[in-house]
Amino acid sequence: MGALQQVLVVDDGHRAIDHSLAGDLAELGYASVTASLEAADDVLAVISRPAAVLLQTSSRSNPAYAALAHRLRDQMRRAGIPVIIVDEALAGQSGGAIDLQSRIGPYVLNEPDL
Protein backbone atom coordinates (compact mmCIF):
# COMPACT_ATOMS: atom_id res chain seq x y z
CA MET A 1 0.00 0.00 0.00
CA GLY A 2 1.32 3.46 -0.88
CA ALA A 3 2.02 5.95 1.86
CA LEU A 4 -0.25 8.93 2.32
CA GLN A 5 1.26 12.33 1.77
CA GLN A 6 1.66 14.31 4.96
CA VAL A 7 0.49 17.86 5.40
CA LEU A 8 1.87 19.92 8.27
CA VAL A 9 -0.80 22.04 9.94
CA VAL A 10 0.54 24.81 12.15
CA ASP A 11 -2.15 26.32 14.32
CA ASP A 12 -2.58 28.68 17.23
CA GLY A 13 -4.47 26.17 19.37
CA HIS A 14 -7.89 27.60 18.48
CA ARG A 15 -9.82 24.91 16.62
CA ALA A 16 -13.40 25.20 15.46
CA ILE A 17 -15.62 22.67 17.20
CA ASP A 18 -17.86 22.15 14.17
CA HIS A 19 -15.08 21.94 11.58
CA SER A 20 -11.89 19.92 11.41
CA LEU A 21 -9.10 20.77 9.01
CA ALA A 22 -7.60 17.35 9.75
CA GLY A 23 -10.92 15.79 8.71
CA ASP A 24 -10.95 17.73 5.44
CA LEU A 25 -7.40 16.62 4.73
CA ALA A 26 -8.24 12.98 5.50
CA GLU A 27 -11.17 13.15 3.05
CA LEU A 28 -8.70 14.33 0.41
CA GLY A 29 -6.36 11.42 1.15
CA TYR A 30 -3.74 13.24 3.21
CA ALA A 31 -2.32 12.43 6.61
CA SER A 32 -1.95 15.54 8.76
CA VAL A 33 0.50 16.42 11.49
CA THR A 34 -0.55 19.33 13.69
CA ALA A 35 2.01 21.47 15.47
CA SER A 36 2.08 24.73 17.37
CA LEU A 37 3.80 27.79 16.00
CA GLU A 38 6.69 27.22 18.40
CA ALA A 39 7.16 23.58 17.36
CA ALA A 40 6.79 23.99 13.58
CA ASP A 41 10.52 23.97 12.80
CA ASP A 42 11.16 20.97 15.04
CA VAL A 43 8.34 19.00 13.44
CA LEU A 44 9.52 19.89 9.93
CA ALA A 45 12.94 18.55 10.87
CA VAL A 46 11.59 15.09 11.77
CA ILE A 47 8.75 14.40 9.31
CA SER A 48 9.25 13.34 5.73
CA ARG A 49 8.78 15.91 2.99
CA PRO A 50 5.26 17.33 3.43
CA ALA A 51 2.88 17.81 0.51
CA ALA A 52 2.06 21.24 1.93
CA VAL A 53 2.28 23.39 5.03
CA LEU A 54 -0.98 24.94 6.23
CA LEU A 55 -0.94 27.82 8.69
CA GLN A 56 -4.31 27.94 10.43
CA THR A 57 -4.97 30.94 12.59
CA SER A 58 -7.98 32.67 14.02
CA SER A 59 -6.25 36.03 13.60
CA ARG A 60 -4.50 36.93 10.36
CA SER A 61 -3.02 39.93 12.12
CA ASN A 62 -0.74 37.75 14.26
CA PRO A 63 2.79 38.95 13.40
CA ALA A 64 4.37 35.63 14.40
CA TYR A 65 2.28 33.78 11.81
CA ALA A 66 3.07 36.36 9.14
CA ALA A 67 6.79 35.97 9.84
CA LEU A 68 6.56 32.17 9.81
CA ALA A 69 4.57 32.18 6.57
CA HIS A 70 7.12 34.45 4.88
CA ARG A 71 10.07 32.36 6.08
CA LEU A 72 8.46 29.04 5.19
CA ARG A 73 7.41 30.26 1.74
CA ASP A 74 11.02 31.19 0.99
CA GLN A 75 12.30 27.89 2.40
CA MET A 76 9.69 25.60 0.81
CA ARG A 77 9.60 27.29 -2.60
CA ARG A 78 12.80 25.50 -3.65
CA ALA A 79 11.18 22.11 -2.94
CA GLY A 80 7.88 23.04 -4.58
CA ILE A 81 5.95 22.72 -1.31
CA PRO A 82 3.05 25.18 -1.01
CA VAL A 83 2.61 27.18 2.19
CA ILE A 84 -1.04 28.11 2.59
CA ILE A 85 -2.66 30.37 5.18
CA VAL A 86 -6.06 28.98 6.16
CA ASP A 87 -8.39 31.60 7.55
CA GLU A 88 -10.36 29.84 10.29
CA ALA A 89 -13.39 32.04 9.61
CA LEU A 90 -13.56 30.77 6.01
CA ALA A 91 -12.44 27.18 6.62
CA GLY A 92 -15.93 25.82 7.25
CA GLN A 93 -17.53 27.34 4.18
CA SER A 94 -18.54 25.09 1.32
CA GLY A 95 -15.80 24.57 -1.21
CA GLY A 96 -13.06 24.72 1.42
CA ALA A 97 -11.98 21.14 0.82
CA ILE A 98 -12.04 21.62 -2.94
CA ASP A 99 -9.89 24.71 -2.58
CA LEU A 100 -7.38 22.75 -0.49
CA GLN A 101 -7.33 20.01 -3.11
CA SER A 102 -6.61 22.46 -5.91
CA ARG A 103 -3.90 24.25 -3.92
CA ILE A 104 -2.13 21.16 -2.55
CA GLY A 105 -2.26 18.84 -5.54
CA PRO A 106 -2.93 15.13 -6.07
CA TYR A 107 -4.79 13.06 -3.49
CA VAL A 108 -2.23 10.39 -2.67
CA LEU A 109 1.44 9.98 -3.33
CA ASN A 110 1.94 6.99 -5.61
CA GLU A 111 4.68 4.90 -4.07
CA PRO A 112 5.48 1.28 -4.78
CA ASP A 113 4.25 -1.27 -2.26
CA LEU A 114 6.95 -2.36 0.17
**Per-residue pLDDT tens over the stretch 24-48:** 888 888 889 999 889 999 999 999 8
Query: For the purposes of burial, counting CB atoms within 10 Å of the CB of 112, is it exposed (0-12), middle (13-18) or buried (19 or more)?
Result: exposed
Residue 59 lies in a domain: yes
Q: What is the rounded distance in angstroms from the CA atom of residue 82 to the CA atom of residue 111? A: 21
Residue 31 lies in a domain: yes
Domain interval for residue 28: 11-104
Q: Share the mean pLDDT of the chain.
A: 76
pLDDT at residue 15 in the model? 65
pLDDT reading at 111 higher than 70: no
Q: What is the rounded distance in angstroms from the CA atom of residue 79 to the CA atom of residue 111? A: 18
pTM: predicted TM-score of the whole model, two decimal places: 0.76
Q: What is the rounded distance in angstroms from the CA atom of residue 44 to the CA atom of residue 23? A: 21
Residue 52 lies in a domain: yes
Residue 70 lies in a domain: yes
C-beta of residue 36 within 8 angstroms of C-beta of residue 61: no
